[in-house]
Amino acid sequence: MPALAGPKPLAQMADGRCRAGAAQHPFKPSLAASKRILTETNRLSIIALGSSSTAGTGASDPDRSYPAVLEAELRRRLPGREIKVTNLGVGGQSAYEMYLRLDNEVIPEKPSLVIWQTAVNDAIRDIGEEKLAKILRKGAHKLQEAGIDLVLMDMPWLQREGRYPKYDDYRAVLAKAAVESGVPIFPRYGMMKSWSGSKQFSQEEIVGMDGLQVVEAGYRCFGIRLADGILAELGEGAGPGKPTN
Amino acid sequence: MLFGKGPREAASPSRDLRIDVIRGLILLVIFVNHMPGNIVSSVMPHNYGFSDAADVFVLLAGVSAAFAYGRLIDQRGLLVGSLKVGARIWTLYIAHLALFVLVCGIVATAVVRTQNALYVEAINIQPFFSDTQAAIVNALGLVYQPFYLDILPLYIVLLALFPLIYVTARTSPLAALLASFAIWQGATHAGLNLPNHPGEGGWFFNPFAWQMLFTLGVVIGRFGLVGASLPKLRLLDVAAVGVLLFAAMVKLSSGNPFGITLLNDWIDSLQIGIDKTNLAWPRVAHLAALTWLALRFVKPNARILSGLAGQRLAALGRHSLEVFCAGIVLAIAGQIILAETSFTLWVQLLVTLGGITILLGLGTFLSWYKTLTARAASAPREQAATA
């Protein structure tokens, strides 16, 4: 939807491409706790737990990590609400290391929603599929017990996946754990894969060449698509294209 | 006898072959495990027990520090001993920095050539590429530690504490152990750790926790120095075997092997991982059981230690710093080769065997070189400590 009034930041103009393959890779989470807490307290507090692509590795500025984009987008589209997105991404962390952080760093903060981006480091280190499944299930259970919504972020799409022959098996573990625990998945893999085939993104924008796993364009789109899905579920907020004043 | 052959001989500067051989073995295990996903690593000891090579390595570091520097402190005083420790720390520091630069170089080359950015992720070296200046400054201060480059900083800190730990252990082994225990548990509960930048994380090997194993090693080494004998406690033997069997059963089964519902949660938590950073107590219990059995049943003059394999491993163990560093470089190169060849089985075996051969060769070469230079200087047999 085009802007009706006022100039729009350049970045927002390009946000349309983030939604290019949205129909094939839908993100429609159910977020009962967040919905209730937002109604009761006017607050939406999100924790982004993950490794380098949560931390924002490769972005030119911390403001361009996906959690920062998500926060800005939610604030823009939910004026008057108290929005906070905390970035707990640490490069290279395994699912188990993050699981250990749930008790000390995540649950005490009482977020409404946790977005858990994980499993890629476990896949490339081949920690064992059963072990990963157990970690994810236990982590999901822990958050559910604490009354916190959870979204699991899918693993990234890789240019040459053949390097890690079990990569798809680990993705399947993640998907299965999500279904079993009733947790929605944010379809990062599918999104990246469809971008790679489209002309809307350059190769460098998706998979950085110089040590950048997902660079700014990708981060921005994750933030935008997450905001879309979360707002749709919460049933409020300005439409994606409407400008704020 | 705990170590050596009694007070008189233990006081003479002879090495306990067990330390060298086990350490040599551990160095090879570390090398293999630093190439995750390779088939050989799936039969390494961590698959059967709670503790792994790192735990043994740190414990042995304590034992051998007591033998090398503890003896020196006894003979020449605290000042001379501490100076020698300081010199060793400097060597370790330089080795760590050299290793850091080498690893960054290897990964940078690999990423440029293969365009697989995950190599950066695999050893958490992004900060070096995204903010090089800060990363270098932090690396110099040991507060930025990529994966695999976290063991030497730990050892540097532990060695710096050695004179204090040793003097305490000399006065009262029990006091040393209790204090160390209290710090370990206190730090774990208070969330105390040294910083690892960027981010809020701490050292992968939290020194406040890992000093416990080092101190345990120092105390064991101290008993060895004074030639204390090990009591024959059959009950403890049985308990230790029980711990090892329990650990193996838990690690090897997918569910709860005992069928006691009450234990389900605990077994589950043991199977998904046993906190390494803060040294969760099952690791310590497992290592204590291993140590007890090794001390009880592997005699310093056991034939297996002086056989051909034992000799080669001992040569490795005696040059552990050099071999450790070479092992890290080889393992990281190996990781890249394995991924580039899609973990083809024969490449996995070739890389693993090739690396082990190189490391064994390095150990043998260094031993030979040492005798050569020692003979050239016509100096008495050198007894420098190895880390």
- Tokens describing residue A19: 């939604």
Residues of chain B found within 8 Å of residue A208, distances taken between Cβ atoms? 117
CA distances from B109 to A209, B99, B115, B334 (A): 12, 15, 10, 14
| pLDDT tens series, chain A, 245 aa | 444 444 445 555 578 888 877 888 999 999 999 999 999 999 999 999 999 889 888 777 878 899 999 999 999 999 999 999 999 998 889 999 999 999 989 999 999 999 999 999 999 999 999 999 999 999 999 999 999 999 999 999 888 888 999 999 999 999 999 999 999 999 999 988 888 777 666 666 655 544 344 478 889 999 999 999 999 999 876 666 544 44
Domains observed in chain A? 25-234 (3.40.50.1110)
Taking the Cβ of residue B131 and every Cβ of chain A, the question of whether any pair is shorter than 8 Å is answered with no
Residues of chain B found within 8 Å of residue A89, distances taken between Cβ atoms? 199
ipTM metric: 0.85
Q: Which residue in chain B has the smallest CA separation from A209?
A: B115
Longest Cα–Cα distance of chain A, Å, equals 54
CA of A75, closest CA in chain B: separation in Å?
A: 25
Instruction: Using the structure block, give the residue that is written with the tokens 């495990």.
Output: B33
CB contact under 8 A, A134 and B116: no
Residue of B130, B191, B271 lying closest to A57 (CB–CB): B130
- Listed in sequence order, the residues at least 6 apart from B119 whose beta carbon sits closer than 8 Å to its beta carbon are B107, B110, B111, B335, B336, B339
Q: Which residues of chain B have pLDDT under 50?
A: 1-13, 382, 385-387
Residues B232-238: contacts with CB under 8 Å, at least 24 apart:
B232/B296, B236/B292, B237/B292, B237/B293, B237/B296
Return the SS3 of A152.
strand
Q: Which of A129, A130, A134 to mutate to test the interface with B (most CBs of B within 10 A)?
A: A134
CA of B194, closest CA in chain A: separation in Å?
A: 16
Domain ranges (residues) in chain B? 7-376
Residue of B115, B120, B130 lying closest to A159 (CB–CB): B115
Return the SS3 of B77.
coil
Selected residues 247-286 of chain B with any CB under 8 Å from a CB in chain A? 254, 268-269, 271-273, 275, 277
Residue of B37, B111, B199 lying closest to A125 (CB–CB): B37
CA of A207, closest CA in chain B: separation in Å?
A: 8
Residue A213 pLDDT: 43
